[in-house]
Structure 1
Amino acid sequence: MHKTANFHEGELQAQRLAHESDVASRNGANVADHIIRPALPFVRQQRMAYVGSVDAQGRVWASILIGEAGFLQPSDDAASLQIDLQKLARQVHDPLWENIEQDGRVGLLLLELQTRKRLKINGDAHIEDGRVVIRVTESVPICPRYIQRRVIDLPDASSQPMPAAVRQGEALEDAHRALLRSVDTFFLATAHATHGADCTHRGGPPGFVQVLDGDLLRIPDYNGNGMFNSAGNVLLDPRAGLVFPDYEQRRLLQLTGRAEMLWDQPDPAGVTGGTGRFWQFRTEAWRETALPEALHSAFVDASPFLPKGL
């Protein structure tokens, strides 16, 4: 059945701080406790998914899954979702797999970059018989703005070898900072103790991610659907994860650390698009892994909603 979103205290506080409680209430009516029926064909045809999860130390990570169409299979009653691990180009060094064994909270974002169609699915997960089984607790369409259109292709994903190399550390390296300053897209994961994990998209013009010092990032927060799931989560638990895809160099940079939202900030250049809000994120650990050599990507166009301040 459909339900009005049961916002937790952090989300309600964030909505008040942004003066968007009425907007959140209206959009909260789109939340369901299952995958909505019209979205089922969209779910089945996806080849990518973006996932938030929590490790045994309570740190939050964001991950990217790439597979064959059909690797996501909703149940007949749309109350659960299965991820077929045999249809994935599975990166064994991704923290996601161990995290699910320790803590079942997951947040999925399905985002078709070439069409900007998107759907968020949150729930509780476990692994059985070569599949991740997710009991859906919340599903909702989200804001399509700020998405840069791309075509990403990985032929025969399940048969593509995932490079085994992994690098990890605590302090960011110069090559990481150069990547962060160049990106136009990343994904943000947060979590709440009882409302679960969440994963969302963040996009902007190249340079919208600022590296303020060695490990501190500052990112403008644009207008969205007003529900403030991510900001509400970090008001109560600042632990967060970011993943930055570099499709040209075929690598992923995953960061885990602590985030906060800065409210009502001066913005003379207009980089926030009028919100006056900025994210700050302090990196505590990073992990860099490679993507298959067969992966290809092509930039199509930038979102027409991007602020002009940068």
Structure 2
Amino acid sequence: MGTPNQEKHMAYGFLDIAITPSVRAAQAEMGADGLWTDFPGHRAFDRFTEAEAQFIADRDSFYMGTVSETGWPYMQHRGGPRGFLKVLDAQTLAFADFRGNRQYISAGNLRANDRVSLFLMDYRRRARLKIYAHAQVLALDADPALTDQVVVPGYRGKPERIVRLRLEAFDWNCPQHITPRWSEAEVAALQADSD
């Protein structure tokens, strides 16, 4: 346990990355600059626990942000069967990147800048997980064991590459303003339970 001063300035991980001088200025303008300085939940979120692993395994989609060489962010939806985003260990995720519209904007952005931001939603439970990571794009034949681990047999999507993600930091958001929604499969399960 550190001194009180060390604990006060303990790394938060996600906010250490997200809060820049311009963000601090915006917080100060809105009177929120003191909210995050002594935040009681300060700790480094740099390793997934069982709670994050289970949350990730339950998802059938997520949003991934990349940054272009011109500095513009690009947000892309990634989807597949439930659990297609795999937790390989406490700091590593991977997924088979399925063929989409063939614009390859995310794939191109990752050639210039390996930073990604993932946003995972559970609308039914009103929960969201934010992840900062570094991405490595691999050919399907680059690591056959990894490919076997992430390719989903029988899924109709055609995998074109593997994306391996090294966790930098993650954080959970509060449920405020998340409108509850249910997937078609969740509605069917609820109806089956009520029959």
Q: Which of 70, 76, 79 is 2:91 aligned to?
A: 79
1:46 partner letter: R
Whether the 8 Å CA contact 1:65–1:89 is kept in 2: the answer is no
Aligned to 1:114: 124
State the partner residue of 1:20: 32
What is the CA–CA distance in structure 2 between the aligned matches of 1:24 and 1:91, rounded to whole Å? 40
Moved over 3 A (4+): 88-91
The one of 115, 120, 126 equivalent to 2:136 is 126
TM-score by length of 2: 0.68
Equivalences, count: 151
- Please state how far the C-alpha of 1:65 moved relative to its aligned partner: 1.2
Give secondary structure in 2 for the equivalent of 1:23: coil
CA distance in structure 1 between the aligned counterparts of 2:82 and 2:162, rounded to whole angstroms: 15
Give the corresponding residue for 1:146: 177
Query: Cα distance, 1:62 vs. partner?
Result: 1.2
**1:120 Cα deviation from its structure 2 partner:** 0.5
In 1, Cα distance between equivalents of 2:44 and 2:128: 14
**Residue in 2 that maps onto 1:98:** 108
Contact persistence 1:3–1:32 (CA under 8 A)? no
Give the helix-richer structure, 1 or 2: 2
Query: 1 CA distance for matches of 2:132 and 2:182?
Result: 25
Report the Cα offset of residue 35 of structure 1.
2.5
Match of 2:42 among 29, 33, 47: 29
What is the CA-CA distance between 1:46 and the residue it aligns to?
0.5
Instruction: Please tell me the residue identity of whatever aligns with 1:17.
Output: E
**2:154 maps to which residue?**
none
Aligned CA distance change for structure 1 residues 58 and 40 (closer, same or farther; 3 Å)? same
Tell me the secondary structure at the aligned position of residue 133 of structure 2: strand
Gaps of 5+ in 1: 156-296, 298-310
Counterpart CA distance in 2 for 1:80 and 1:124 is 10
How big is the shift at 1:149? 2.0
- Residue of structure 1 equivalent to 2:21: 9
In structure 2, the CA distance between the partners of 1:60 and 1:117, relative to structure 1 (3 Å rule), is same
Counterpart-to-counterpart distance in 1, 2:40 and 2:111: 33
**Secondary structure at the counterpart of residue 96 of structure 1:** helix
TM superposition score normalised by structure 1: 0.44
CA change 1:45–1:91 in 2 (3 A) is farther
- Residue 57 of structure 2: which of 28, 41, 44 is its match? 44
Q: For 1:75, what is the secondary structure of its paired residue?
A: strand
- What amino acid sits opposite 2:35 in the alignment? V
1:28 deviation in Å?
6.1
In 2, the alpha carbon distance for the partners of 1:152 and 1:27 equals 35
State the SS of the aligned residue for 1:146: coil
For residue 171 of structure 2, what is the amino acid of its counterpart? V
Q: Shift in Å at residue 10 of structure 1?
A: 2.4
What's the RMSD between the two structures over aligned residues? 2.4
Q: Which residue of 2 aligns with 1:211?
A: none
Change (3 A) 1:82 1:16: same
Matches within 5 A, 1:1-310: 3-4=11-12, 5-6=15-16, 7-25=19-37, 26=39, 29=42, 31-76=44-89, 78-85=90-97, 88=98, 90-93=100-103, 95-128=105-138, 129=140, 130-153=161-184
CA apart distance, 1:147: 1.3
- State the percentage of identical aligned residues: 22
